[in-house]
Structure 1
Amino acid sequence: MPDAVFSPVAWCLLLALVLFVLRHRLGRGWRRVGIVACGLLVLGCMPLGANLLERVLEGAVPARAYCDPGDRGPIVLLSGGVNHPPAGSADYRALTSESWTRARAATELWLAGRSGTLWIAGGGPYPVRESTVLASLAGEWGVPSSALRVEAHSTTTRESARALAGALAGRRARVVTSPPHRARALQAFEAAGIETCVQDTGTDVVPPGGPGDLLPQASAIGKTEDALHELVGIAWYRVLDWRHTTRRHPRQAGGGAQRGD
């Protein structure tokens, strides 16, 4: 989806326009609701609101879902996207900062144990796949090609999980991704039937820093956009999982006969 779909600035401007155009038609109650909603969107443009939203997302992952130091299952690195079409497998400049950060964390995790498999998942829409570039980068950082496996066809986290379900069956996968993405990744992998833990790579929550936290900032807007993207993604995955479940196990018709799809 376009970034504007998750922009608190865009939604606040749109809401303000609607309130202005319909100011004589809306009741007092609806106008108050609109003003409060716009206020919350403005809060999302501030570091205070963005970090509160980030805290909610990171808190959605239960403590039991984090990997233990003794876990030795396969590592799964989820791509964080690219800034432009990669020109080749060594075009590391194409990787977003999220991809770089995730790749470094996954590589360090593998190097700490120097055994097992490092899966890299994520295809993307371009001829040179994101996972291919990340695999080259991991190799540059010391992971041997014999330990690397690439899943290069998925375009979403849910697709990555389903693509790896067979290869990871019966094993506890250690998923490496960004803090706000952990909850959605955990949901997708568990829904695919993969026993999963997420690697703790720190937090994106920034502690309060003073009055400046009440001023709109570009970094806060970006963090809020990412958080809203994840919240919508979590809700959408739940809808898809529900639809998948109902199709596999449709309700029983009268007399115990099973209704076909």
Structure 2
Amino acid sequence: MLDFLNAIPRGLILPPANLFLLILIGLLLWRRWPRAGRIVAGTGLALLAILSTTAGASLFVRPLERMSAPLLAPERAGAQAIVVLAAGRLQDAPEYGGQDIPDYVALARLRYAAHLQRRTGLPILVSGGVGAKAGDAAASREIALGEAMATALREDFGVPVRWIEGRSRDTLENAAFSTAMLRKDGVRRILLVTDAMHMPRSRMVFAHAGLEVVEAPTMFFGDQARSSGAFVPSAEGMRRSWYALYELIGLAWYRVRVG
């Protein structure tokens, strides 16, 4: 299903593009069936306005984030390792000599992983594939998201990385490949680091792969929509709506796929 989402541009079935399509359908209907056209177009416009606000996005964000809770005592969790999942990347960053670097979502996960490592002393595994060419033509090679994350942890946060899983293409493969690596070193219980909206799906597949999972979510957005500005349409509001709906669809599919 998520491969399907990636194959047919996600924007066609997620906001805002799906809402623009709904509005377009309404306008096409308007000429022949004015009332139906007004209802369809008006519904699309209203949803576009609502989902473009952080208050509207919270209608989908909060249910996801309430499926997990902040980790308050990592030292007493009984974990043997920290696993941090990749997000996206900024390609060919000129300020880093044309190398790929983790995007801001990945950096938030890495920062929290570094915080947990300093508190617990546990070894870290970074997980993420989807290789891309390095910027330096003289040393061109395929690099994985996991490799870029490991570099950031070591160089920017001063935290060691024991394992790099660099083959996975999605969360299901994050779990399968990471579990295989950890089991070789006798690791059975982990602190799993990802953002709060991604945690329900991640926890499910890592538990299905056979690991004992202690959730360590970061980046909670649902309870931030409290000011009057939360009702003003913004790019951030639409980003949260897009991400939350993507995760809800993915969670539903993973429940069917892995039980």
TM-score (norm 1): 0.78
Are residues 1:201 and 2:218 paired?
Answer: yes
Structure 1: segments with no counterpart, 5+ residues: 243-261
Which structure's CA Rg is the greater one? 1
| C-alpha contact 1:48 1:213 (8 A) present in aligned 2 | yes
Given candidates 200, 203, 223, the residue that maps to 1:186 is 203
Structure 2, unpaired ranges of 5+: 1-5, 133-141
- Is the aligned partner of 1:17 residue 2:1? no
For 1:29 and 1:238, locate their aligned partners in 2 and report how far apart those are by CA, in whole Å: 36
Native 8 Å contact 1:76 1:175 kept in 2:
yes
Partner of 1:121: 127
Residues 77 and 118 in structure 1, CA contact (< 8 A), matched pair in contact too: yes
1:237 is displaced (CA, Å) by: 1.8
Count of matched residue positions in the alignment of Structure 1 and Structure 2:
235
What are the superposed Cα offsets for residues 165-199 of structure 1, whole Å, 9 maximum, x if unpaired? 23445622111111211111112212222211211
- Once the 2 structures are TM-superposed, how far is the Cα of residue 44 of structure 1 from its aligned partner? 0.7
Contact kept, 8 Å, 2:201 with 2:247, in 1: the verdict is yes
Match of 2:257 in 1: 240
* CA root-mean-square deviation: 2.9
Corresponding residue to 1:222 among 206, 218, 239: 239
1:93 and 1:85, CA in 2 relative to 1: closer, same or farther beyond 3 A?
closer
Superposition pairs for residues 27-38 of structure 1, below 5 Å?
32=39, 35-36=42-43, 38=45
- C-alpha distance after superposition, 1:5-47 (max 9, x if no partner): 3652322211011122234676968975774465234311112
The structure carrying a bigger strand percent of its residues is 2
Counterpart AA for 1:48: A
Distance in 2 (CA, whole Å) between partners of 1:239 and 1:31 is: 37
Q: List, as ranges, runs of 4+ consecutive aligned residues in structure 1 with deviation greater than 6 Å.
A: 24-31, 89-93
8 Å CA contact 2:16, 2:48 repeated in 1: yes
Hey, what's the Cα distance between the residues in 1 that align with 2:33 and 2:126? 52
Residues 8 and 45 in structure 1, CA contact (< 8 A), matched pair in contact too: no
8 Å CA contact retained: 2:128, 2:169: yes
Q: Is the 8 A contact 2:25 2:37 kept in 1?
A: no
Q: Distance in 1 between matches of 2:44 and 2:253?
A: 22
